[in-house]
Amino acid sequence: MKGLERLDQTVVQELKEKIALGCKILAKLELSDYLGHVSARIPGTDLVFIKARGLDMGNLLDMTADKVVMVDLEGRRVEGQDLNPPDEVVLHTEIFKARPEVMSVVHTHQPISTILGDLGLRILPMQGVMAAVAAREIPVFESSLKIVTHEQGRGVARALGDHWAVHLRNHGICTVGDSIEQAVVFAIWLEHQAKLTWQASAAGIPRGMSQEEAELQIKDALGPMASRWRYYCSLLDN
């Protein structure tokens, strides 16, 4: 297995702990429960860490680093023999195959984004730096079924294209990033913009930012992710 013999155990533990934190943050913000998953490519390898199958581990608020499974890019378990990878592991691995620059994938069933996806309404760039994730219209994968085959996973990757996020119609969303922090924060931001779009729609016809101003948010969005991550981690203390 490419890279397995030279894994830096410090990096390994850090990735596992960040996956656990990402899962807990998403659960704290009610964007996931025992379902949904965070994954990370192990740098310099064909290996991926991913949260274990939900039914095996339960509430994501209880997620810990020892509940992370190592798989290869075919979704086959490599390490973590007492735990199973999630049924939708190929959702992650097929994105990693298609997007070599992506280092983390998040899949949630976050409610408001899912509602807008069902209605065929665009999540608009509504406010501040968070609007960057919706600066471009979110593409849609037109199936509500669980992503359990490589063909389905490849379909999601094609729909995602070079975007940061994709709707899974009547299912949920995926976000990607160049780090676990970025992919998790983008999922949070997507739901925030969806919530504002939904609330504005109840009062009238929302306009959202101009395309030019929404795109100007992107540079800031790619900026101080570490400090944003610390903020979301701090919510777990309350």
Contact 69, 85 (CB under 8 A): yes
User: How far from 127 is each of 105, 135, 207, 211, 217, CA to CA, in Å?
Assistant: 24, 11, 11, 13, 10
Query: How many secondary structure helices (H) and strands (E) does the chain include?
Result: 8, 8
The residue count of the chain comes to: 238
Structure tokens belonging to residue 191: 């739901």
Contact 183, 175 (CB under 8 A): yes
Structure tokens belonging to residue 14: 């850090």
SS3 per-residue string spanning 150-213: HHHHHHHHHHHCCCCEEEECCCEEEEEECCHHHHHHHHHHHHHHHHHHHHHHHHCCCCCCCHHH
Angle (CA) 92 94 95, round 5°:
65
Contact 23, 38 (CB under 8 A): yes
Asked about 88 being catalytic, the answer comes back as yes
SS3 137: coil
Give the chain's end-to-end CA distance (angstroms, integer): 42
From 30, 88, 142, 181, the catalytic residue:
88
Please identify every residue annotated as catalytic.
Answer: 88
